[in-house]
Structure 1
Amino acid sequence: MNLPRRHTVLVDVGYLYAASGELVLGTPNRSEFKVDAEPLIHALMQLAAQRLGEDLLRVYWFDAARDRVPTIDQRVIAQMAQVKLRLGNLNMRGQQKGVDAQIRSDLETLARHKAITDAVLVAGDEDMLSAIEAAQSYGVRVHLWGVEPPYGTNQAERLLWESDTVFTLDADTVRPYFTATGRIRTPTPAEVFSGRPAIALPVSQVSVAPEPRPAPSRPIGPALPERVDIIDVGEFVAQKWILARGRDNIGDLLPGPKLPTVIDKELLVEAEKELGISLRQYEKARLWVRDGFWSRVYREFGMSRPHGEGEQR
């Protein structure tokens, strides 16, 4: 009895980003480019549908984060339909730990339980070989996808041998989703918490981050606080996020001033907690919170507010 054809897409994000950055921007360093991940994931879904049919189980997005605390971009990805975010740990050297094991575990489990007939694997590490062989032993066809290397190869030869089919993502396919940021490296933890700049800027433009300002006192009763107090709350929330999430993650929001929806909601919730009132009926107050947030972020990175740009509504 033949099972209806159903596929999944498993993506080693470290490989995909590094190989694509090398191909279209000349650097595998993730801190030197920004990835528009949501449309990239949708593009991979559509490509898989063209090659394998419309019945997609889900996309597994295997990435890493320090202490497995998701970054802003990863939190947005986790909200996507038919996408399962899997996080390994990112050590102090920027190396992924535990990601390969998660990929192997998920692929083998899906194959063993006959949840899929086909698996697209976007990866290059030979450590994936045992997972491919295990999945195939359960009758699953494994389709290895890689990114076109600018020279040589960026996938283990044995992976190419053992996979049922091999497909290459060329530069035209991945280029629309990768943009150079101008950053030259990922900041160290010491730089993140000392306020030293992590983006290459002329010395004249670099400003040292001020000491965290105390939270403004909460108003008594439901009355709306003054504009300056609400702006202060926006700055205070930004300062807390910088310390908790690191300058590199907050830098992913630049140049602003529009925030991803999920992050904007978090900002307003945090501001309401600090103010002790709901801002749902106060549109201007919500704009003031965002104004304070961006004022603090721009100051952290030694930037001036872009001229002619309105706040997020």
Structure 2
Amino acid sequence: MRSTCALYIDTGYLLASVATRVTGTSLRSGINVDYAALIRSLVAAAEARCGLPILRVHWYDSARDGVADRQQERIGELPKVKLRLGRFGVNGEQKGVDLRIGLDLVAHARNGASDVFFLVSGDDDLTEAVEEAQMHGVQVVVLGVPNSAGRPHGVSRHLIRAADDLDTIDGACVDVAVVKVDRPAPPAPPALTAPPAAPVPTVESPRPAVRTPLDLAGRQRIQEPPRPQSVPVYSVSSGAPAQAPPEYIDTDTDVPSEQDRVIDDVVARVLASFRESATADELLDLRRARPYIPPAIDRALLLDASEATEKYDLDEGIRYRLRSRFWEIHVAR
């Protein structure tokens, strides 16, 4: 049997990475993708890297109830492309995709399907599957998507150490196949035909004087209200209020930390990408959904924050801060 190579593409990683390259955030709705052109670029990169013809492209994605949508069906009909589907969890996250990739890597290596496997993913959870596949005599090369600086985007260090090599696809090919969605701003609401009625004045009842401590100069000090022991934040799955433990509450609001600045930058970029690509109805739906954060936006917030903070697993404090700042910044703008 002749020597070949094979591609194993984690679609979640691929689309998040190309979106980040084009828009600055991993939000998928901010891009339009020519999937046929993008897959051709990946095949060309793999064949040029190893000098072997492609045997097959394995395309791993999630689908509602594991049933392909129209776009996924069209991808599965492309030459030499094998569609492999997981499903969505209750929070919109991928379920079963990593497991399918890992099982296929090991099974195909054991059966000698190809000599070189190219893995388009950055997921730390695939490290053990890569090492197991290598034990059956195949090379496993991680093929990353270059960011704006030309470095592979979002690849776990454990995965890099386990793989035989790390390479990137041509950034120019990505830029041809992936374009930013840019919708015109919605029209401003019409002006009111009549001025609003003047508010009815109210008379406040006198309040009893409150004795407050004096400072060294004899002036009254302003007493701040006691800080609550917990602050409500909202579940991405149900929108129900949850509670952040006191240790996750920033007690020094006047001096933002470096982590606060990173989180605010991530939130601002995701919001900007969403607003530039969303329709007027989608913008209205987001406002109506408050305090619920749509799964696609929540997923982009977590991915971008993980990349910005260089933390593969975000702790609860960062997750809480991301979600609370999302609504604070959204309302402020």
- Give the TM-score band, short-chain normalised: 0.5 to 0.7
After TM superposition, give the deviation of residue 68 of structure 1 in Å: 1.4
> Which of 52, 57, 69 is the matching residue for 2:67?
69
After TM superposition, give the deviation of residue 202 of structure 1 in Å: 8.1
Which one-letter code corresponds to 2:121 in the other structure?
A: A
1:112-261 to 2 correspondence within 5 Å? 112-150=110-148, 154-182=154-182, 199-201=278-280
TM-score, reference length from structure 2: 0.53
* Greater Rg over alpha carbons, structure: 2
Distance 2:175 2:89 in 1: 28
Q: Indicate if the aligned counterparts of 1:121 and 1:144 stay in contact, CA closer than 8 A.
A: yes
After TM superposition, give the deviation of residue 173 of structure 1 in Å: 2.8
| Residues 39-87 of structure 1 deviation map (CA, whole Å, 9 limit, x = unaligned) | 1111111221112234321000001111112122111011111100011
Distance 2:65 2:44 in 1: 32
Count of equivalent residues: 193
Which one-letter code corresponds to 1:97 in the other structure?
A: K
Distance 2:159 2:8 in 1: 15
Distance 1:202 1:101 in 2: 36
Identity percentage of aligned residues: 35
Q: Which residue of 2 aligns with 1:109?
A: 107
Distance 1:44 1:171 in 2: 11
Secondary structure of the 2:280 match is: coil
Q: Indicate if the aligned counterparts of 1:57 and 1:82 stay in contact, CA closer than 8 A.
A: yes
Q: Indicate if the aligned counterparts of 1:182 and 1:200 stay in contact, CA closer than 8 A.
A: no
Which one-letter code corresponds to 2:128 in the other structure?
A: S
Distance 1:134 1:128 in 2: 10
Q: Indicate if the aligned counterparts of 1:22 and 1:28 stay in contact, CA closer than 8 A.
A: yes
The verdict on how the C-alpha distance between 1:16 and 1:202 changes in structure 2, with shifts beyond 3 A counting, is: closer
After TM superposition, give the deviation of residue 138 of structure 1 in Å: 0.3
Unpaired segments ≥5 residues, structure 2: 186-235, 237-276, 285-295, 297-333
Q: Indicate if the aligned counterparts of 1:24 and 1:171 stay in contact, CA closer than 8 A.
A: no
The verdict on how the C-alpha distance between 1:182 and 1:168 changes in structure 2, with shifts beyond 3 A counting, is: same
Residue 86 (structure 1) aligned with residue 84 (structure 2)? yes
Residue 9 (structure 1) aligned with residue 19 (structure 2)? no
Which one-letter code corresponds to 2:68 in the other structure?
A: P
Q: Indicate if the aligned counterparts of 1:118 and 1:141 stay in contact, CA closer than 8 A.
A: yes
Secondary structure of the 1:50 match is: helix
After TM superposition, give the deviation of residue 8 of structure 1 in Å: 0.4
Unpaired segments ≥5 residues, structure 1: 189-197, 207-247, 249-313
Q: Deviation above 4 Å: which 4+ runs of structure 1? A: 150-153
Q: Which residue of 1 aligns with 2:93?
A: 95
Q: Which residue of 1 aligns with 2:208?
A: none
Distance 2:75 2:102 in 1: 21
Distance 1:60 1:11 in 2: 6
Distance 2:70 2:180 in 1: 18
| Residues 250-297 of structure 1 deviation map (CA, whole Å, 9 limit, x = unaligned) | xxxxxxxxxxxxxxxxxxxxxxxxxxxxxxxxxxxxxxxxxxxxxxxx
Secondary structure of the 2:79 match is: coil
RMSD of the alignment, in Å?
A: 2.9
Distance 1:4 1:70 in 2: 33
Distance 1:179 1:67 in 2: 29
